Each structure stands twice: as structure tokens, then as C-alpha cells.
Chains A and B, each alone.
Chain A
């Protein structure tokens, strides 16, 4: 019979190991060589030197790597500027991979040869149960049908002008989003998402012939319109002051060859500032700021797609109505006494886009898109952008596009542009289902 004094040290070690949550320590008792878990070798207060089932010199379990290329040759004809311009719109590197059965993640790094931007870097958790997921980090906000994916992946030649004006070319935000989808009957899927973001900046590639107020990457957490910038303070804030997005959408089979989708989206920015610089009567640069502003963007979208029996040809019709409400614009003004001030325009502006596309076969499609919107300005001048385009896919991974763009503007000079675009995708390139 063992004495208590002999048992106690072993029991103490056992309890200590359990409290520390280190079953591996117990496992090592029975054979440290064969059972030594990779990933727990560490010196006190220092990081682990191995993670997972690899050493730092093997490439097992690495994420899939992809690259994308997007370049254009543009011929512009307007009263402001004429001539040709060759542009590298984008070179993108992406990585995506699972971390565990319930976690996956990825990032996208983009450059237009002048600036480099991290447009996405997020982890996705799918272990909540069927049909629910949480994503956290930096990712594209879930607004409307056309804002969820990168510009170069769109079938249409550019982000519709109304979305560029009200939301930006791309809309990456840093925050967290929950989404869930449910079947309704056998032929319909309903999905909603709710997101909270601390910052959301319009990301720019440069447009294809339209007028563009979004100049370059906006590192200041804001959108710039007419010299006045929409600005959100970085750092900590109340939950109620965070940007919120929400989207609800349903899509259903129409017969055996059609799909119809309807969706509604909202983005609220509860606390931001307009910042700008102006020159006073002494020719001095003066900075202005209007704080405590709020704004919301709402959208309502419809899409219908019909395909032939062999799936090689078909039609897609789509459109979205977008409205911006609240403090929609700021403007530096000179009054009669030559004093300058920043005036905030509170009201509503709205616009829409609509498009029709015909897939002729698996390598050719053509379409037309029209987008009309009121500018984010007090007078809300209107602008209409009309595009006709032809897409040709020599292979699954290359696309040639020819587009003609006409801009009819109340505020600026009208313009016409002819765009030849070349895209290429290397390696793994994928997107979640586009809701």
C-alpha cells in the first residue's frame, strides 16, 4: 500500500498539468520523443518557434496563391482633356487558405504601380452552425449586388457611376460581419448580413473614362468631394458611433433556366467630419472642419438572369437604386464679406444604374449600362454615364474588353472615351458566392 506522501507529489503534478491545460505534458511522460507535439516548443515568455504540423522550412499547408492583372488603353475626348492614356489599373496578389475545419482566411494586396494597398485581410469562422458565418478583419462591405467583389472581376466595365460616387470604387471596411442564409421552400434562398466597422474607406483604381472625384488611395479614412474630405477619427469610439452595414436578399429559381434576385442594403455612418482647406481674404490657407455629422446610404437592387438549356448563352438584366441621406456634402464657400466657411449640405441625393448583358456563347458577351445620379453637392447636379461593352474571353483566365463610355454632366464637361482593357488571372482566384 502506497503512503499518502508518495501519492501526493504525483497528484500535485497531475492537478497542475490539468489546471494549465497541458495534456501534452502528460503525454510526454509516456514518451517525449514520439509524442512531442509540434507547436509548443517555446522558451519562457517568447513565441513558439514551430506552429502546426510543419517546420518553417516546408511548404505543406500553405495557402493558395493567385495574381490578377488589369490594364487599359483609353482614348478620351472631352473639352477638358483629349488623347490616349495607358494605365495599369491593378496588379493584385491574393492568398487564401483554411486554418482549421472551421476557420479560413486570406488577403488581397493591390497596386496600381504608384501605391500599394491592402484591400482585404480577414478571417472567416463557419463553426457557428449551418448557414451562419462571421468574418473579421478588413473585407469588402456587404452592400448591394455589385460592391462585394473587386472591380476587375465584374462583368460590366466599371463600378457603376452611382456606386462610385456614393460608395467608392471599392468599399473595404475594417470590422466584423455576421451573415446567415436560410432556404425558403425548395427553390429560394434568403440571406441577411449585419456588419460593424470602425473605418470604411473608398478604394480607387482609376475609372475608365468617367469623371472621378476619388483621387488615389484614401488613407485618411474618408472620401473626397470637391476639396472637402469625409473624415472619421481613428481610435476608440462608442459602439453607437461605428459604421453599420446590413443587407437582406432573396434569390429564387424562375422555371428551369432563370434566377431572380431582390435585395436591400443600408450603410450608416453615425459620426464623421467634413474637413477642407480654403483661402481667406488675406490669402492665407485656413483649415475647416465640421464634426458630429451623420449619413446613411440605402440601396434596393433587382437582378434577373436567364440561360439557354446548354448554359452557354443567356441574358442578365439588373439594376439598383441608391439614396444618400443626412449630411451628404460639405463645401468651402466665400460669402460677401470674403470670409470663408465650410458649409454642410443636409438632405437627400439619389441615383440608379441599370444594365442588360447578353452572353452570346462561353467566350463572348456584350451589354449596355446606364447610371444616373445626383452629385454629392448642395445643388446636386446630375450626371449620366452610359457604357456599351463587349467582353471576349480567349481562355478562362484572360479577358479582352472593348467599351465605349459617354458621360453627360450638368456640372462638368461632357466626355466620350473608348477603352480597351486586358485582364489576366494567374493561379488560384476565387470569390465567395455573390449574394
Chain B
């Protein structure tokens, strides 16, 4: 009899907690669309397109490895409450987003699916010829997923976010259209400067630590001469680093590009052996930084890597990004 009371008591407590939390959940809905973005740049784009109709939360921090973001309880809470979940997709976040979506149990996201803003990107590169772990740990069947570092990806992603927001709030379609169009104009203005920077960088040669800057390099006309990782996601081995040192000297590579998450000392030593220097390129926006600022910083860092400066003229000034 004691055991029966114990079991019934446990169920009573469980049921009351469930009812309480259900009523809390019912109060959670609001008019403002809750958007959760996996990466800060995408969060910034969603804010620009959504304006005051959206409240945007972001999961990754500016210096984290995009493939291995550390999840915290607040991420589960925000994802559960979200009306829209935005990720790059293309298997960029596949190590941590599926588990987050499963644990957060958001039926709206489960039904509609996350918004994969990378899907349909027409210029995918480094598509693996064979799908095998012998080709690396970070094998992405659809191609290199780091499209978020391409300067022309901003407008592409903004339009995708606009379309999904319109489907969620049709009555605000005009507002989202206007916000997106205005943002595309600002992107186009900044892109003029990025193209002038790219003209200076054209023909330069780099080695990447991890192939996350391929799209940025392509946009700037920079030649990619390999990676310190022997295969995507596999830490550098001594033999491969020795091989890359020879290759860097033979090819005249002066810069090794690395993200903040990669080991600084290893990248510096490997670059020095090849007669180059390691340069940290931002992979995500920092706090308070817009996507346009972020792209500015990425381009300027590339200029500094070769001690280049953009000739002064009207386009050398940053445009206000209000």
C-alpha cells in the first residue's frame, strides 16, 4: 500500500508540474516573432530583415568552432520558444543542431523545419567525390558549407529569411520586403568597397588551417594552396605539416588563414616553417557588430595580412550601418 501511495504521489507531482508548465507555455506566445539563429551573422541578418517585428536570439559565440558549438540551457529554452530557427545548413551545424532541436521539442520547428539559408546556394565548392571517412572527419556531402563567409551570401540569406518571415506573418509582408530591399541596397554599397579590396588581393596565395575561408578567398580572387588539416576536421600531423611547409615555400605562400578556434601556436609554427605568417580571420560577428561590419573586418584583415592599404577615395569610407 505504501508503494501505491508513493507511485500515485509521484504521478500527482508530475502531473501538476506538467500542467503548471503547460500554462506557462500558453503565456509564452506573443505577437513578436521569436527567431533563433545558429550563428551571429545570420542573427544580424534576421534582425535587419525582421526589424521590430522579430526578437532574435543567437546560439554560437563569436570565437567558437562552427562545427562544435557548446550548447547551454538558455539555448534549449530559446529554441523551444522560437517561431523560426535559422541555420546555414549544408551540414555546417549538423553536430549540434539536430540534438538541440530534438531536446527542445518545439512542435512549430518540428512541423515547418528549420530555415536552411544555405540550401540552394548556387556556387558550392569542394563537393566530395566520395563519401567516406577516409576523406576526413568533416565530410560534407553537399560541399563546403562555410558559405556564410562569402560576401555575396548576405543578400541571398536575407531574401531567404524574408520569404520565411512573410510566410509566418503574411500581414507584415510589405514591411519585410521593404526592410530586405533597403538592406540589399546597403550591402550593394559596401560590396563596391569589397570589390576594390578584392582587386588588390587577386592572385595572392594562402593556406588555410581549416577550409572555412574558401568562399571568401574565391570572392577576393585569392588562390588556395591547401590546408594545414590533412583532411577536413583531422588535426594536423607532423608529416603533413612538413609537406605543407615545402609547398608554401615552393608556391610562395605568405599567409596562413585561421579561425579564432584553431590552435594559435600550431598555426604560427607551421606558417613560420613555410616562410609565412598566421592571420586570424573572423568567422562570426562579434558582439554589437552587424554583418556588414563583420564583412568589412574580414576584408580589412586580409588587406593587413599583406600590408596593403586601399587608396583613399570616396569609397574608402565605411558607410553608416544604422
Interface of A toward B, CB cutoff 8 Å? 101, 126, 129-133, 178, 180-183, 185-190, 192, 194, 196, 239-242, 244, 246, 251-253, 256, 259, 268, 270, 294, 307, 309-312, 314, 361-363, 394-397, 430, 432-433
CA distance in complex: A311, B22 (Å): 34
A187 → chain B closest CB, angstroms? 4
What would 20 more interface pairs be, CB under 8 Å, given A268-B6, A310-B64?
A131-B25, A131-B80, A182-B21, A183-B21, A186-B74, A186-B78, A190-B21, A192-B17, A244-B3, A244-B6, A307-B70, A309-B62, A309-B64, A310-B65, A311-B65, A311-B261, A395-B233, A395-B235, A397-B137, A433-B103
Inter-chain contact A133/B105, CB cutoff 8 Å: yes
Set A294, A312, A395, A430: member contacting B234, Cβ < 8 A: A395
Instruction: Please tell me if B315 contacts chain A, counting CB pairs below 8 Å.
Output: no
Chain B contacts for A433, CB-based, 8 A: 76, 99, 102-103
Inter-chain contact A244/B261, CB cutoff 8 Å: no
Chain B contacts for A361, CB-based, 8 A: 263
Q: Give a binary string over B207-225; 1 marks a CB under 8 Å from any A CB, 0 the rest.
A: 0000000000000000000
Set A194, A244, A314, A363: member contacting B235, Cβ < 8 A: A363
Inter-chain contact A189/B73, CB cutoff 8 Å: yes
Closest B-chain residue to A182, C-beta based? Answer: B21
Most B-side CB within 10 Å, residue of A268, A395, A430: A395
Instruction: Please tell me if B160 contacts chain A, counting CB pairs below 8 Å.
Output: no
Closest B-chain residue to A251, C-beta based? Answer: B73
Inter-chain contact A194/B14, CB cutoff 8 Å: yes
Chain B contacts for A246, CB-based, 8 A: 10, 14
CA distance in complex: A187, B74 (Å): 4
Closest A-chain residue to B231, C-beta based? Answer: A395
Interface of B toward A, CB cutoff 8 Å? 1, 3-4, 6-7, 10-11, 13-14, 17-18, 20-22, 24-25, 61-65, 68-70, 72-74, 76-78, 80-81, 98-99, 102-103, 105-107, 110-111, 133, 137, 233-235, 260-261, 263
Q: What are 14 A-B pairs with beta-carbon distances under 8 A?
A: A131-B105, A132-B105, A180-B18, A180-B21, A181-B21, A182-B20, A182-B24, A188-B73, A246-B10, A253-B74, A259-B73, A395-B233, A397-B137, A432-B99
Chain A contacts for B103, CB-based, 8 A: 432-433
Chain A contacts for B20, CB-based, 8 A: 182
Chain A contacts for B6, CB-based, 8 A: 244, 268
CA distance in complex: A185, B322 (Å): 31
A266 → chain B closest CB, angstroms? 9
Inter-chain contact A395/B99, CB cutoff 8 Å: no
